[in-house]
Amino acid sequence: MISQITVPRPHFDSRAVAHRVLRTDPPVQPNDLQLVPDSAAGVGRSTKYSPAEWFSNYQTILVRAGADNLEAESIQQLSRTLNRDSEGVTLQTQAEGTRLLGERLQEIHHWRSELLRHIEQLQADMEALQAARTRLERALEATDTPYAIATDNLNCRAKRPGPDLVQDSVEEELLKEVGLIRNIQALLKRTIAQVASQIRRNMDAKQVLEMDWSDKQEAYNLDERGGGHSNRSPDTQLHPSSAANHEQVCNPTTWTKFTQDNLLQAAQEEEASRRLRALVEEMLRETTEDLINQRSTVDGAFSQRCQELLEAKTELQIKLTQVLQQIGEQEKNIVGLQKAIHLKEAPLRVVQSRLHLRSLRPNMELCRDPAQLSLEAEAAQIETTLNSLKQKLNEARISLSNLEESRMELQKDISCKSQSLFIEGEKCMTQRRHLPSTSRLSGY
């Protein structure tokens, strides 16, 4: 009796071993089971293959080797083709990348130059504005002297004597000058604040441009360094993660718009600086002209007032001379009248004595004879003359008193005019000679 023992045929793949991959044996098929004689079974399990198995095994190996050869030849052919094609594409892509880097460098250089130009312009604007601010501060400081002189002129003129304490054109022009200086000082202070604010805005815009320029300078250096790399460059390395998309990466449109917005803001500040500088120049010119014109008006009013005072003083002095002369003449006239009255006393005593004696005549002798009539006429005439002389003496004395009052008034008014002339000419006009010049009022 023959025993049947199933012995599976071992399966081994050298390719799997080469790739360190274990291949599981295929499931055992019924026709793979071989019958082994009892004698072999009695000795133990046989490890030998049959001739058919031996033939089938090496045929399978040959077929598989042939297929592997064909597959290897195909892969090699495709590899050569891929290598040849990819090398051209790689070189073309690399050349395109180098060209685009060059264009990018030109674009960065363009915007970098524009940024640098505006940075320099903003710096120049800030220096010009600082110079304008210095001029404004000097002009503001220069207005202190005219203001002090004008107010001092008003205070000095307030000390004029009573008759000359009038609200004349000089006072009106001085008040206008004080108000003008106050308005100019307020305007200068506001303009200084505007200039300081514009300088700060220019500085902020300049800092933004400098940051943008610094970033572009660094980017230019990096792209220039990258554009200089070649396949033979020794300093190139593999950076696998560098090709990945980064977060918050802008596109060329937003990149350009960012710089354009910065340049637009800088251009606006430059235009504002230009307009402000023109405004400062125009304002300093106009304020200086206004102060100079008002100064001329006040000086003209002072000169006219001094001329009027001098003319009035001269007329008063002339009139005083005449009054003094009249006082002397009147004093002489009074002395003459007193002497004439004194000289009439003796004839009056004589005639009155004669009339008295004749009044003592007795009886019929007491007649109004021509002698009596003559004596009466003489007495009446002397009395009339004395009355006239006494009246004229009284009038002369009243006239002398009036002349003395006029003299005192004239002398007092002349003293007032002299004091007013001293205030107007010596104090006020002398002070006004120290007013700042046109260049100082302009801030130079």
Torsion of CA 318, 324, 329, 333, to 10 degrees: 140
Which 8-state DSSP code applies to residue 19?
A: T
Q: Which tokens is 191 given?
A: 């303009």
Q: Rounded CA gap, 86 and 76, in Å?
A: 15
Domain ranges of the chain: 1-46, 84-226+256-311, 319-359+369-441
Q: Which CATH class is domain 84-226+256-311?
A: mainly alpha
SS3 sequence of 112-142: HHHHHHHHHHHHHHHHHHHHHHHHHHHHHHH
DSSP 156-199: HHTTS-GGG----HHHHHHHHHHHHHHHHHHHHHHHHHHHHHHH
Per-residue pLDDT of the chain (444 residues; tens, 9 = 90+): 333 433 444 444 444 433 443 444 444 444 444 444 444 444 444 577 788 888 898 899 999 998 989 999 899 988 888 888 777 888 888 888 889 889 989 999 999 999 999 999 999 999 999 999 999 999 999 999 999 999 999 999 998 888 888 888 999 999 999 999 999 999 999 999 999 999 999 999 999 999 999 999 999 998 888 888 887 878 877 777 766 666 667 888 999 999 999 999 999 999 999 999 999 999 999 999 999 999 999 999 999 999 999 999 999 999 999 999 999 999 999 999 999 999 989 998 998 898 898 889 888 888 888 988 998 999 999 999 999 999 999 999 999 999 999 999 999 999 999 999 999 888 898 889 888 888 888 888
Residues 6+ apart with CB under 8 A from 160: 416, 419, 420, 423
Q: What contacts 283, CB < 8 A, 6 or more positions away?
A: 187, 191
Phi-psi region of 363 (alpha: psi -120 to 50; beta: other; left: phi over 0): left
Any idea which residue has 């001739």 for tokens? 51
What does pTM read for this prediction?
0.70
Rounded to the nearest 10 degrees, what angle do helices 51-142 and 144-157 cross at? 30
Please report where in the chains the tokens 């003796």 appear, as a residue.
346
- 109-142 CB burial, b ≥16 within 10 A, e <16: eebbebbeebbebbeebbeebeebbebbebbbeb
Residues 339, 331 contacting (CB under 8 angstroms): no
Burial-class residue 420 by CB neighbours within 10 Å (0-12, 13-18, 19+).
buried
CA dist list (Å): 288 to 138, 185, 268, 431: 12, 12, 30, 19
Q: Which residue in the block uniquely carries the two structure tokens 């008006």? A: 297
